[in-house]
Structure 1
């Protein structure tokens, strides 16, 4: 089953952009996350529409943050990318006449909805500057 890693990849890029402190090209970003620059441009355009980044053309052009990472939450980016399901678990509809299938689907849907609501609430509490400081320093301390 294919997973949607756009949120993770975009967060990776945004934290790098803050650390780099200058306009970053689509090619540089693509190299960071091992993808095609066209994919990066398409994704960054969604963030530009939401006013989280800006772009400029020319010799020193590229993408820049349009606001501080402390002003952007995980939820903001998730919503800017277009709401996708947080879970890849699917409900079956092969036996739509079966009451057992209906009961199973209802139970799974309730649990997934509760989990997703909790996850989105937590996304709204985490700003991107926290990703770049708290998490990285914890990771580096583990390595030593």
Structure 2
């Protein structure tokens, strides 16, 4: 069964948008994520509706942050993506009148609901900006090395 990787991919994009000064085009984001720019536009549409990003058309246009990352929770991003299905596990419909199948479905439904509640609670506790904090030293070092290398090449 295919997995839905939109949440980590969108978080990746938001973190990059926070690091750059100019808008990023769908082509640039598509190249970064190794996917089609039209998929990027669809993926970003929910984020624009939620007010997390904006976009401009024309030369110099693209996607930009419309809200600071420390004001956006992972749960809000998950919802902006349409709250994708979490699990491949589903209920049985082989014998709906069977009390044993009903019992198995009830137990499965209960476990799935508890897992979904825990997942959402975990996402709600974390802001997108928090994702960078554990890596800020490495990021600064990387950026410093990139600037140093680009200066040396000139």
- TM-score between the two structures when normalised by the length of structure 2: 0.84
Q: How many Å apart are 1:139 and its aligned residue?
A: 8.3
Q: How many Å apart are 1:138 and its aligned residue?
A: 8.9
> Cα 1:116–1:138, aligned 2, differ >3 Å: closer, same or farther?
farther
Aligned partner of 1:55 in structure 2 is 55
RMSD: 1.6
Query: Does residue 83 of the first structure (1) align with residue 83 of the second (2)?
Result: yes
SS in 1 for 2:132: helix
> Cα 1:51–1:58, aligned 2, differ >3 Å: closer, same or farther?
same
Aligned partner of 1:70 in structure 2 is 70
Aligned partner of 1:44 in structure 2 is 44
Please say which structure displays the higher CA radius of gyration.
2
Q: How many Å apart are 1:84 and its aligned residue?
A: 2.2
Structure 1 residues without counterparts, runs of 5 or longer: none
Aligned partner of 1:11 in structure 2 is 11
Aligned partner of 1:20 in structure 2 is 20
In 2: Cα distance, 1:77 partner to 1:37 partner: 20
User: C-alpha deviations, 1:82-132, integer Å up to 9, x for none?
Assistant: 122222211111221221111111101101101111110111110001112
